[in-house]
């Protein structure tokens, strides 16, 4: 992209910091910005009409977020919430759209980024549809290790409630399943932390569903 076009995007961008637990954008709100997550970990959540919350995916920066809003939606489909302190860049949709339409390769790259990000959501829904709770939670632990906390020495700090929202099951089911995995020495539990001890066994549980 030429420097002049990039400068248009830079001038209309706004850098912000969000603390753990803060909402970056809210489901149903009007959206005028594309979001780039420089640093941190966030969750995409969806609230149903009866008030239940589901986590559709968890993402670690650097990552482009919300590209669907750029071309297809003016209203946020999901809420995005910081799971840890995060650095975020808000890019004005109109300015970016005006520049992007002149650069076909740029649009293709953005589409690729968006598809890669939501691929995990698609696989999660497939898991929910075809697997029991045991297999779902195994899938989530594998995903978190491979795509989110890969440099965290097998250590996850997601709450049990967040895991239940990701696996679409009850809080009690999460506690029971994690306790079973702990007894089988597949994971270790240290307070709120979860440590993976036997990744191969997790893959077997995932495969068997």
CATH of the domain at 79: 2.60.120.10
- Are residues 172 and 155 both part of a single domain? yes
Q: Is the pLDDT of residue 113 over 90?
A: no
Query: Final residue of a domain: which of 63, 94, 127?
Result: 127
- Are residues 87 and 180 both part of a single domain? no
Q: Is the pLDDT of residue 72 over 60?
A: no
- Are residues 142 and 94 both part of a single domain? no
Structural domain tally of the chain?
A: 2
Contacts of 61 (CB under 8 A, 6+ apart): 37, 38, 39, 40, 41, 42, 86, 87
Q: Is the pLDDT of residue 196 over 60?
A: yes
- Between CA 88 and CA 39 the distance in angstroms is 7
- Are residues 37 and 66 both part of a single domain? yes
- Between CA 151 and CA 140 the distance in angstroms is 17
Q: Is the pLDDT of residue 153 over 60?
A: no
- Are residues 120 and 144 both part of a single domain? no
What is residue 91's three-state secondary structure?
Answer: strand
User: What pLDDT sits at residue 182?
Assistant: 94
From the list 86, 64, 91, the residue with the least C-alpha distance to 7 is 91
Whole-Å CA distances, 170 to 56, 78, 112, 122, 137: 16, 21, 34, 21, 12
Query: Final residue of a domain: which of 127, 148, 178?
Result: 127
User: What pLDDT sits at residue 130?
Assistant: 76
Q: Is the pLDDT of residue 175 over 90?
A: yes
User: pLDDT per residue over 122-143, tens digit each?
Assistant: 666 666 667 889 999 999 999 8
- Are residues 95 and 161 both part of a single domain? no
Query: Final residue of a domain: which of 75, 101, 127?
Result: 127
From the list 132, 108, 100, the residue with the least C-alpha distance to 207 is 132
Average pLDDT of the segment spanning 191-195: 83
**Residue 149: band (very low, low, confident or very high) from pLDDT cuts 50, 70, 90:** confident
- Are residues 65 and 19 both part of a single domain? yes
């Amino acid at each position: 992209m030429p420097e002049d076009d990039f400068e248009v995007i830079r001038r209309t961008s706004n850098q912000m910091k969000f603390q753990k637990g803060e909402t970056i954008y809210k489901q149903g709100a009007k959206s005028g910005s594309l979001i780039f997550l420089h640093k941190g970990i966030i969750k995409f959540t969806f609230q149903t009409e009866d008030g239940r919350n589901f986590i559709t995916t968890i993402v670690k920066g650097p990552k482009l977020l919300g590209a669907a809003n750029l071309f297809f939606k003016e209203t946020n489909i999901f809420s995005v919430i910081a799971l840890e302190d995060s650095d975020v860049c808000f890019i004005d949709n109109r300015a970016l759209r005006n520049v992007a339409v002149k650069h076909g390769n740029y649009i293709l790259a953005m589409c690729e980024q968006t598809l890669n990000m939501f691929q995990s959501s698609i696989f999660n829904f497939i898991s929910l549809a075809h697997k029991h709770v045991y297999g779902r939670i195994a899938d989530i632990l594998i995903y978190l290790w491979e795509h989110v906390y890969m440099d965290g020495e097998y250590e996850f700090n997601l709450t049990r409630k967040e895991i239940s929202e990701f696996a679409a099951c009850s809080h009690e089911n999460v506690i029971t399943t994690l306790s079973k995995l702990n007894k089988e020495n597949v994971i270790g539990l240290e307070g709120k932390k979860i440590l993976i001890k036997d990744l191969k066994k997790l893959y077997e549980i995932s495969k068997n569903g």
